[in-house]
Amino acid sequence: MKKDLLKLLDLSQEDITLILNTADQLKYEQKHNIHRDYLKGKTLAMIFEKNSTRTRVSFETGMFQLGGHALFLSGKESQIGRGEPIEDTARVLDRYCDGIMIRTFGQDEVEELARNTKIPVINGLTDFCHPCQVLADLLTIREHKAVLEGLKLCYIGDGNNMANSLIVGGLKTGMEVSIACPEGYDPDSQVLDFARSDPGFHFSLFRTPQEAAAGADVLITDVWASMGQEGEKTVREKAFAGYQINDGLMALANPGCMVQHCLPAHRGEEITAEVFEAHANEIFDEAENRLHAQKAVMYLLMKDQ
């Protein structure tokens, strides 16, 4: 494993498998009330410049379960919010803590933080990628399907941070990946270049959900307007009309097709209430697995600090 988890592009297939296997073990131990303080005496600084429910609760709970301590640092209430350079914050936290998790807007901020500290930095979300969420997705798919390699993963919606990380994570674990998004809302060009860089990858970008969903083993979607895009809501509703996981789309997928959603879900927009509720167990397994996947990341990165 590398020192940090900044984006899935940095990880090898072996790194991802190690994280998933470690998450399986930690989940097994928790379910069987086996308590080991793997990170006893360790402290994780959690920097939030974007609001959060699942990220904050899962990281904070995960550190507690591993025997460590998590500190919540709001961007509005810390010196970052008052203009302190990120490199100065990094050098201070390096002397206090054993790891940093940051949930923010720019990927460059996360990369800069990592460059200026010797302790691990974990990307809790940026506008570019959402690696911890997709590790949880992969963990959930593997739990339900037993394998990842050879499955077809289909994402419907905005080519946002979720799409970027799903493409990378899916291809690196041997999945076929298809994406459907409207013109002008494609995934990041860096990710598309990666997806087309290896003749062994099976990747397709479509403009219609029906083409993308045909033969899928997993259908995934996200909100049409992500955090910070609320002002584009009306424009995006028009652009994404029809980009919805519904019964018609499910009928095109393989029998037993899973559904995943990173939440929060807007029923009636990117997914119907009927499909959401029919696959609620899978979706909330996915939400739970944020905890286990992130515990694995924290353990692997912070145990030797």
pLDDT along the chain (305 residues), means of 10: 93 98 98 95 95 94 98 77 82 97 96 97 98 98 98 98 98 98 97 97 98 98 81 89 97 98 96 98 98 98 94
CA distance linking residue 131 with residue 125, whole number of Å: 7
Residue 36 annotated among the catalytic residues of the structure: no
Residue 222 annotated among the catalytic residues of the structure: yes
Choosing from 65, 107, 133, 244, which is the catalytic residue? 133
161 annotated to bind ligand: yes
Choosing from 236, 279, 290, 292, which is the catalytic residue? 290
302 annotated to bind ligand: no
pTM score, whole prediction: 0.96
Q: What is the pLDDT of residue 234?
A: 87
Q: What is the pLDDT of residue 231?
A: 77
103 annotated to bind ligand: yes
Residue 130 annotated among the catalytic residues of the structure: yes
Choosing from 127, 158, 222, 285, which is the catalytic residue? 222
Residue 267 annotated among the catalytic residues of the structure: no
262 annotated to bind ligand: yes
222 annotated to bind ligand: yes
DSSP 168-203: HHHHHTT-EEEEE--TT-PPPHHHHHHHTS-TT--E
Q: What is the pLDDT of residue 226?
A: 77
